Structure 1
């Protein structure tokens, strides 16, 4: 059986609940869910590790690829998990991060486990703030950086409070402005984690395989050049490898072809500009170096299922 056949893909919070929990309707707050999100508006879910430990059915040892981002704050107990192809042992007062599309499996969880799991997708993270940092720019979500930080007592207490505030605001929201506040608290958690990470990361050595190094270099180049380089062969040339080889390695490591990452970078930039600015669709198409508005519109609709105008109308805060 090929390895890919053993990997369970989990696309959203509902599939996460159905795979990990006995009760797929579980929610950490019964008052949640006042806002019904339409296509592409994303999701945010929070669950305690104690509840996950109690309700899980068969997740230990199975390899998954989550199509969203995860942040785990561990306050008690120990876990052994595989993120990518690296095995990690985490103890109390630690945070670890699982980026979108990363391979992941849980090997062991101790009985006294306590903490918080927060999961969200890229669409949910989009805020009405210009020049916002992108998720793939946070170091702990980058393939060539260690995906965890150790916390002091004060830092642990601060993160617990921020997650409590995030969940509290999520449970009480009744309007889209309330939802914007929830997204801002998520942003604060990530920015605080980045500040701690940057202060401590130099102390943490990290080794990647040659293939993982190539994919990390490719993703970095895409982040830097996606506006003017939209073809896989352009990146292959910069990396001095054959385009077919680059595509095969990217797909082996990430589960997606190389072109997927170029497209996603363009789509996220387009969504950000549609939500965070008042630029016309023509202005956005030109800024993203599309040959004309109609080509940009077809590209956007093929990926998202909506035209740029429809996406802006449905998702921009009033």
Structure 2
């Protein structure tokens, strides 16, 4: 399939709504969110696929890059979508996953489609529970792993119930403690999906281009070494390529520079320490191997718009 060159960048749920649900009565539950989020505090939205299907035709073939994570549970119907640079056909009783910043395009949806689309960003997931697995460690969100699972009847029913609970708790929340329950159901869905994914894993290699393989290896190395290696040239050395080539390939494949992924890994780790521990800013700066507190503070504010203490005060609700 030949995709148009222009890529629609979709940063959050509001932009998703404007792009896919424009001029439509189909929308998210407007009564759901009694808890308002400040900038950077994350979002989670759930929408029925049957509502999206009524409007999807004008977006067929449009390539988009969502700057958040998506989980799709398909309970009926057929879809063909392009995730990254690979085309997939999904039928009933399947789940598929679109990681943050991944290219995505809808090729076709059947008229009898039913299911759930759940969207959330890294900041929202960060507040689920302490010391949890990181989003980029789930296999279905990794570039070199297949982004889908096939479900049995029992697994489909379980996932439908979990998504129902997630949506129900989201609609009923009135306090940040209620919101913690919503986050925990999201965490449960991901952990159950990972368990199913791992139980179905085969030894067959996942088909990637050479450039995609390089980007996957780079992202894995960043996950492993971001605390001690903060420069692109250090990863280029590990991968035996020139730093400019690595940066060009990463940007071509993901839309972002190689340094962006190093910075994002660092900033998510910093946010985790700020929200999930009582460590001082000095202690966090030292744990992340920054030279001094002021450099860490400048780095954090440049990427978030807030100082570390402002972020903690604004987003920590324990």
**Same fold, TM-score > 0.5, yes or no:** yes
Identify the residue that residue 52 of structure 1 maps to in structure 2.
52
Identify the residue that residue 80 of structure 2 maps to in structure 1.
80
How far does residue 295 in structure 1 lie from its aligned partner after superposition?
0.4
Whole-angstrom CA distance in 2 between matches of 1:215 and 1:33: 37
How far does residue 233 in structure 1 lie from its aligned partner after superposition?
0.1
Whole-angstrom CA distance in 2 between matches of 1:122 and 1:5: 27
Superposition CA RMSD, Å: 1.4
How far does residue 35 in structure 1 lie from its aligned partner after superposition?
1.3
Bigger mean CA deviation after superposition, 25-34 or 103-112: 25-34
Stretches of structure 2 lacking an aligned partner (at least 5 in a row): none
How far does residue 22 in structure 1 lie from its aligned partner after superposition?
2.7
Whole-angstrom CA distance in 1 between matches of 2:102 and 2:124: 18
Whole-angstrom CA distance in 1 between matches of 2:57 and 2:4: 22
5 Å-filtered alignment, 1:168-183, equals: 168-183=168-183
- Cα 1:232–1:166 change in 2 (3 A) is same
Contact 2:128 2:184 in 1 (8 A): no
Aligned partner of residue 58 in structure 1, secondary structure:
helix
Aligned partner of residue 95 in structure 1, secondary structure:
strand
1:39 aligned to 2:77? no
Whole-angstrom CA distance in 2 between matches of 1:237 and 1:38: 40
Identify the residue that residue 257 of structure 2 maps to in structure 1.
257
Aligned partner of residue 96 in structure 2, secondary structure:
strand
Whole-angstrom CA distance in 2 between matches of 1:19 and 1:220: 32
How far does residue 127 in structure 1 lie from its aligned partner after superposition?
2.1
Whole-angstrom CA distance in 1 between matches of 2:79 and 2:57: 17
Identify the residue that residue 104 of structure 2 maps to in structure 1.
104
Contact 2:11 2:67 in 1 (8 A): yes
Whole-angstrom CA distance in 2 between matches of 1:160 and 1:203: 29
Bigger mean CA deviation after superposition, 33-42 or 137-146: 33-42
5 Å-filtered alignment, 1:107-186, equals: 107-127=107-127, 129-186=129-186
Compute the TM-score of the two structures, normalised by the length of structure 2.
0.97
Stretches of structure 1 lacking an aligned partner (at least 5 in a row): none
Contact 2:97 2:147 in 1 (8 A): yes
Contact 2:42 2:121 in 1 (8 A): yes
Contact 2:32 2:171 in 1 (8 A): yes
- Cα 1:24–1:235 change in 2 (3 A) is farther
Compute the TM-score of the two structures, normalised by the length of structure 1.
0.97
Whole-angstrom CA distance in 1 between matches of 2:32 and 2:126: 20
Whole-angstrom CA distance in 2 between matches of 1:98 and 1:189: 15
Aligned partner of residue 117 in structure 1, secondary structure:
strand
Whole-angstrom CA distance in 1 between matches of 2:120 and 2:50: 19
Bigger mean CA deviation after superposition, 30-39 or 64-73: 30-39
Whole-angstrom CA distance in 2 between matches of 1:155 and 1:76: 14
How far does residue 97 in structure 1 lie from its aligned partner after superposition?
0.2
1:305 aligned to 2:305? yes
Contact 1:73 1:116 in 2 (8 A): yes
Contact 1:75 1:94 in 2 (8 A): yes
Structure 1 runs of 4+ with >3 Å offset:
23-28
